Amino acid sequence: MTIETPVVTSSSSSRVDEGDHDRFTHLVHEGYTLPDGGFVPLGNSVVEGMVNATPVRALCGKQWVPGRDPQKYPLCPSCVDIARSLGWSLPGP
C-alpha cells in the first residue's frame, strides 16, 4: 500500500476577467509526495504558471495564469471547503 501526501500550493487569481469577485487566493493541488520522497506531478505548478504564463487549475475549478501576491487576498471559500473535505490541514485560522 502506498501512502501519498498531497502538495497544495496557494496562489492568487489573475484572470482575464479582473472583477473583484475573482480576487481570492486559490489552492492548487500540484501533486503527491511519495513516502520515498519522490514527487508525482498532476499538472502545471504555480511557479511554472508564473514563469511560463501557463494556466493552473484550483481545487474549486477556477483556471487562471497566476501572477499576483496571494498574501493580499483571502482564501477562496470553495477551495477551503474542498480541501477540508479531503482531510487536508490548512495554515491559518
Q: What is the pLDDT of residues 25-38, one digit of tens each?
A: 999 999 888 999 99
Q: Note whether residue 67 is domain-resident.
A: yes
Q: Note whether residue 93 is domain-resident.
A: no
What domain range is 72 assigned to? 5-85
Give residue 8's pLDDT. Answer: 53
Q: What is the pLDDT of residues 22-70, one digit of tens each?
A: 789 999 999 888 999 999 988 878 999 999 999 999 999 999 899 888 8
Q: Note whether residue 92 is domain-resident.
A: no
Number of domains comprising the chain? 1
Q: Note whether residue 91 is domain-resident.
A: no
pTM beyond 0.85, yes or no: no
CB 64 within 8 A of CB 75: no
Grid coordinates given for 62: 477556477
Grid coordinates given for 13: 487569481
